[in-house]
Chains A and B, each alone.
Chain A
Amino acid sequence: MRVRVFRMDPSVDKEGYFQEYDVPVNNKEKWTIMDVLDYIALNLDHSLSYYRHSVCNQGICARCSIRVNGKVELACTRKVVEDELILEPRNDKVVKDLVTEIDAPHT
């Protein structure tokens, strides 16, 4: 499956760009978007950043939201059902790639 992923390191890049990966998603196996990202990070491109620290993977912590084919969803709960994916950060406050600035900390 063709997966297009938004890439940007604001400390270096003026603008973001898309990088394409070929991921062997099997829709019958019911991959999630997190599975796709994990596959890319482990096998294709270690430099890809997406929310991955202290991840519950069960839809509990609700911190892994990204834009999947235009719609903001949790990477860990969203099943892959389509034949092509475009993955983007959920807003334009990009820290790196798919990671955006965190909510205001407790005050």
Chain B
Amino acid sequence: MKTQLGTYDLQNRLTGRFEPAGLFEGIDESNLRSYEQDWKIAFETRLPGDATTAERLAANAQDARWDWRRLAEIRGNPLLYQMYAIECAARTQGIMLVKKGGSFSRHPDHPKADLIYVDRLATAPWNRRGFVGEPIYRGVGQVLLSAAVNLAYEEDLDGRIGLHSLSGADAFYRDVIGMTDFGPDDENYGMRYFEMSSAQARVFLEPKEGDGA
């Protein structure tokens, strides 16, 4: 089931203006069609089908092979998984899949405490530096992560979230979002593991200067 959680302002970098974007819990066919008709075509236009790992990294498209329709099918158990989408200008601007159980904190503030695990998160290719010369919307990742943190509060998990990052997004999670970097995880393809502790979650959700402009 798809439910609108709220409306957020995304800054259009090309015009400098803020535009209303809908944040949804659950995705539907329109999101999957936008992924298949807008995102996939953008990936296929920019990258050859046999692109190497290095080429995908250079294009900021390490997730180009993620199949969101397939993910929605195999991780469709609503008790364990939840998907989110953000829509603006009649297109899906970002999608996120989170796991609500069976993941535990590595943070020294609350070792082994349950948390929300962000299984996948992607912003549309036209919003990415490195993929296009002039990315369009700013803030898609932050809005989706705020949904994950809010879910962690709703689930009585005190805002805790964790994730493994694609290498091209390491700096985003560490420097922009302020998550703790626990380094490469040998048990997850050497991807770096990041966590937002309860204390970091409170800071993350605090209104920042410039919010609400």
Are these two chains actual partners, yes or no? no
Chain A residues with a Cβ under 8 A of chain B: none
